[in-house]
Amino acid sequence: MSRKSDFITGDPWRIFRIMAEFVEGFEELCHVGPAVTVFGSARTKPGDRYYRIAEDVAVLLAKNGYAIITGAGSGIMEAANRGAKKVGKLSVGLNIQVPTVQRPNRYITKLLEFRYFFCRKVMFLKYAKAFVVFPGGFGTMDEFFEAVTLIQTGRIGKFPVILVGKEYWQGLIDWMSKSMFLKGRISKKDFSLFSVVDDAGSVLKVIKNFYGG
């Protein structure tokens, strides 16, 4: 293999692809205005109550001036984009290119494509006034824990991180209390890094209380 071929297939060339994703993301999202990022499982079906709550959350937030940002897929992401589009508010989808192809849902009005998860995660965070986290799997947990870790360590300022669905999240919170807190892995004040609610109105209330609205 020539040195030129090695360069365009190796790590140095990858840096330019990463830079391009950051530049495009910053350029496309810097004018969205106040926004809320919504996370949750792509496997949630339209008949599921969390799908309905996610749509209601997006409608309520959109009516209060917030654009909605999601991971562009189905399930909770689709519900949130659907709610934003329903009331004519900007409905952003940040799609990820993975081997198991994720097709963007049809309710997105601004779509960005990402090859790298970490670039996409920066965009979720940088332009959000709050995170609203619905029941989900590994990806949802990753996004939740990264947010509270960044706040806990002072890498970013505190902002609302809201878990929706007390029944779903209670087991995780119990584990945090019994295995993390009681064994000295986290402190009591770390539980204030997030809120747990059950309905759309409570999501809006947490955000308004935080920003004094």
47-77 pLDDT tens trace: 999 999 999 999 999 999 999 999 999 999 9
Give me the pLDDT at residue 144, please: 98
Average pLDDT over the chain reads 94
Cβ-Cβ contacts under 8 Å for 10 (sequence gap 6 or more): none
Give me the pLDDT at residue 9, please: 60
Whole-structure pTM value = 0.92
| Contact between residue 54 and residue 30 where contact means Cβ atoms under 8 Å apart | no
Q: Which long-range contacts (CB under 8 A, 24 or more apart) does 20-25 make?
A: 21/114, 21/115, 21/116, 21/119, 21/120, 22/119, 22/122, 24/112, 25/94, 25/112, 25/114, 25/119, 25/120, 25/122, 25/123
| Per-residue pLDDT reduced to its tens digit, 81-136 | 999 999 999 999 999 998 777 899 999 999 999 999 999 999 999 999 999 999 99
* Domain architecture of the chain: domains with CATH: 33-211 (3.40.50.450)
